[in-house]
Amino acid sequence: MGNLDGKVALITGAGGMKGIGRACAMKLASQGADIAISDFKREPKDLPPQEIKAQWRSIDSVAEEVEALGRRCFKVWCDLTDAAQIEDMVSRAVGHYGHIDILVNNARAIIGRDRVPITELREEVWQRFLAINTTAVYLSTKFVAKSMIEKGKGGRIINIASDASKRAKPMTAAYTTSKFAVIGLTQASALDLAPHRITVNAVCPGSVNTDRLNYWEEAQAKTQGVSLKEFRARIVADAGKAVPLGRIAEPEDVAKLVAFLASEDAAFITGQAYNVNGGTLFH
């Protein structure tokens, strides 16, 4: 079917209807991989309006799409702020398939509550961003890499970082710090795991046209008396004007690079952090 036949990919944060995780699941499945997906059970207030309208069912809906491609899909609900749940997620996925060959650390904390100056940033918000965006990546990498080493067949670990991993913006101290740390973790774990033929790389998207809830956008839409959908459309249009290629990224743009890094064509690439931003940032 494709260059990932016989491989198993575990993807975190994969339940969004228009998210990077879903796009990665579909892309890797289209290349022949069987899929394990996880996400956090969100409250209705934390669901994008488009998902509610479409009666989207998070990883249940994604699993049906993967299976429609003729690939297997294993679902695990997981709170990434809980180390025991992360270890259980990996253990269950390995137990189901017998191995994990590809890990995509995609999940991130819902942004928006960090959009304040550092003098007003609440410690619990800071800690949540570090827990989900950084510590969960470390723990998932640790547990999956142990399994990969035990199997002795190498592997691929791909961390979804951000252009915020390389360049800070005002009022993003928690998010930026957590994503800068992902690059350091990528480089250090790449060196640790290289003797086992496990590569570790990061993908750094700029703005991406997803529907994941953003608390700041929600508040701004309410203040301006417009729907969240209308406000987000403005944000997407305005952001696209600043991109040399004329638009912001779609989730599929990110998934294509993830699929390359997961393939044998990327066997000699490790410790790198690749931009997917239409030319807005070059280093």
Which residues are identified as catalytic? 175, 179
172, two tokens: 């993003």
Sheet holding 198-205, edge to edge: 73-77, 34-39, 8-11, 102-105, 155-160, 198-205, 273-276
Specify whether the CB–CB gap between 28 and 3 falls below 8 A: no
The rounded distance, in Å, linking the Cα atoms of 186 and 230 is 37
- Contact call for residues 4 and 49 (beta carbons, < 8 A): no
Among 127, 87, 72, 89, residue whose Cα is nearest residue 13: 89
Give ∠ CA 270-162-56 in degrees, rounded to 5: 110
Are 259 and 31 contacting, i.e. CB atoms less than 8 angstroms apart? Answer: yes
Question: Could you give the angle at the alpha carbon of 174 between the alpha carbons of 186 and 229, nearest 5°?
Answer: 100
**Angle formed by the axes of helices 215-224 and 228-241, nearest 10°:** 110
Q: Which residue has the tokens 């294993």?
A: 74
Collapse the DSSP code of 94 into the 3-class scheme (helix H, G, I; strand E, B; otherwise coil) and give the result: helix
CB neighbour class for 142 (10 Å; exposed up to 12, middle 13-18, buried from 19)? middle
